[in-house]
Amino acid sequence: MAQGFLLPVCGSLCLVLLAVLHARRRRQLRLPPGPKKRPIIGNMLDMPSHCPWEVYAGWAREHASDIIHLGIPITGTSIIVLSSVEVAQDLLDKRSAMYSDRPRFTMFHDLLAGDRFFGLGKYGDTWRAHRRLFHQAFNGPAGGRFHPHMLKYAHDLLRRLLEDPVAYADHIDHVIAANIISIAYGVNVESSNDPCMTVTSSGMDAVRSALIPGRFLVDAIPMLKYLPAWIPGAGFKRQAAQWRQQVQGMVDVPFDTAKNIFDGGKAHPSFVMDNLRELDEYGPRRVQEEDIKHAAASIYGAGTDTSRFTMRVFIRGILENPEAQAKAQQEIDAIVAPGHLPDFSDEADLPWVSACVKETLRWWPITPLGLPRMVHGEDVYRGYRIPDGSIVFANAWAMLHNEATYPNPGAFKPERFLQQGKLNPAVMDPRNAAFGFGRRICAGKDIAWDILWIMVASILATFDITKAIGENGEVLEPHTGHAEELVDFPLPFKCCIKPRSRAAEELIRSTAKL
């Protein structure tokens, strides 16, 4: 009797002992290499405030390691930076169950937006529901039904550039936002004063501001969120309340507008209206209205900034390499019939245009560090210990500026993707890094590519982009200023955008009749 009782007890004790020994061995493993850590504060003073992606890439070269570690013991924070596609795929793709969560930012998640934004939300049931909606709407051939939206707004951009080329950055911003509102909600936005445009723009301003690293002490000391808003030093609570209203308007106003149009029997192909139709047919259990609403807001939030700033990068790149513009235009002239503008059916025959878009994504990635992940559980990789709760960055900038993969990476050279006039499959497609990895890869990557491709093709077909000329006839070099926030992008710069010919000008004007 006693023996029968002792055997399972001893077995359980052995399992506990083995687990303890295994955990101890893991803790004894080395952390990945990185800058030397100081007592107590670790790498706190080493954290870069300017172009961190370049600093991290430099440390990776210095330590001959594509995985580096920074630690701040007093806050218990471990930061892991991945600097190669290989290591990112090993961890973020192949071990995605452990690497798909997001760290929680108190200002943004607790005081502002919760988990309503798909790209920044906690990995769980809500995230999976939103992800499922994205996949159904945008993956592969499904996204093709939005091509008419994209063509319409590409032509709108051409007309705006023709009328006022100096304000090119404003035109790009407006057209990209209107395009994505159309795709997400089926709402046609003509003016920048349209309520859907103003509330979504205001909401995104709040999101970007709340996510600036190091801006709010409450992100480092979460307990501060319990302070009453009226006491001195709690101004962040009052700011959060204002921003929360802006974000709520971004979520509610365009969705309610789309729902009213849908209820009036005038549904247009769009993410919201397609899903509302499915809700009508199958009932609320299949697709919850709240999921549709918040997923739609995420489409706008994720797609607008990245697309509009990438188009700005394209123009900046063409100024660096006017020969690439000339070769792409020669290709368009040879393939696209006179009196016509490029269409999606031309994409396979316009490799120079595709190479220009690829090089734009590679040369200046708008999210150079991606969005941070958080490790769920202790992990071991290449003999290194990766602590539970580590914050992980995939340094897309380092991957896309790797000299072994892309010689002379600082130059804008679309030709690097071409061989004998065709796209070279041996050269790594920058989308492999620019759109992220694993389960957190950009769900709208195919839509994003299509929007960029048709706008680039349309501009190259009709305009010449050159450096601006000063009052005294001197060539004005575009300045190199850029913003370093949640995204990195070139600040507006001067350039000259002129129609290639009178025929091109007439072709642009003719699109208003379509």
Q: Per the annotation, where are the binding residues? A: 442
The size of the chain, in residues, is 514
Q: Rounded to whole angstroms, how far apart are CA atoms 152 and 169?
A: 19
Given a contact cutoff of 8 angstroms between Cβ atoms, the answer to whether 297 and 250 are in contact is yes
Which residues belong to the annotated binding site for heme?
Answer: 442
Helix (H) or strand (E) holding 465: strand 463-466
Task: Show the tokens assigned to 54.
Answer: 């370049």
Determine phi and psi for 400, rounding to 5 degrees.
-85, -5
Q: Is 421 exposed, middle or buried (0-12, 13-18, 19+ CB in 10 A)?
A: exposed
Determine phi and psi for 58, rounding to 5 degrees.
-65, -40
Q: CA of 439: how far to CAs of 85, 403, 435, in Å?
A: 15, 28, 11
Task: Provide the H-helix boundaries in 139-270.
Answer: 147-163, 168-185, 195-210, 217-220, 235-263
Task: Provide the H-helix boundaries in 365-444.
Answer: 396-400, 431-434
What DSSP character marks residue 496? Answer: E
Q: Which amino acid is at 481?
A: G
Q: Rounded to whole angstroms, how far apart are CA atoms 400 and 437?
A: 14
